[in-house]
Amino acid sequence: MSSLEISSSCFNQETKLPLSPPLVEGSAFEPSRREMDEVEEKPKEIIKFTAKKLSVDEVSQLVISPLCGAVSLFVGTTRNNFEGKKVINLEYEAYLPMAENEVRKICSEIRQKWSVKHIAVFHRLGLVPVSEASIIIAVSSAHRAASLEAVNYAIDNLKAKVPIWKKEMYEESSSSWKRNKECFWATND
């Protein structure tokens, strides 16, 4: 029998496709023990602060899981303006030991609130030109609601709690260090 069998009559054309072959122990169609072990993968958190350009593809691939039907991403990029001034790039600095610890706490909080599989948080340090990513957060989960809510929680809390400082560099050769308005230690002015 060929993979596609077509029978026709004067008034009717019928297409029959073959059924899937039955699974036979040891056949190529039976999942191997290794594949089944991969399905039982442990949750992971990948946190990285780097001066290198960030890749959305790289970060999203790190959280993909055969157990998950959703990968949600937040990508924060450098915009070319702020309050009427032309921004040419941003410069980020961080106190790394504390920053990494605070991101780990955020990941732990996410796991307490939502059923997620993997979390990746990559933040750029140093100069970040206009349109390039400053931060990428990726979260995988079985269903979209958990990963979407977790990504939103992650960026809001990262901006509020993680010691990362941003300096905006303007076209007219001036610059300005900016505080995150969400920071818990920021004063209300």
Binding site for substrate, by residue number, is 143-144, 159, 166-168
Q: Report the alpha-carbon angle 140-141-142, nearest 5.
A: 140
Q: How many residues does the chain have?
A: 189
Beta strands in 35-186 (DSSP E): 44-50, 70-77, 81-82, 85-94, 118-124, 126-129, 133-141, 164-170, 175-178
Q: Which residues are annotated as a binding site?
A: 143-144, 159, 166-168
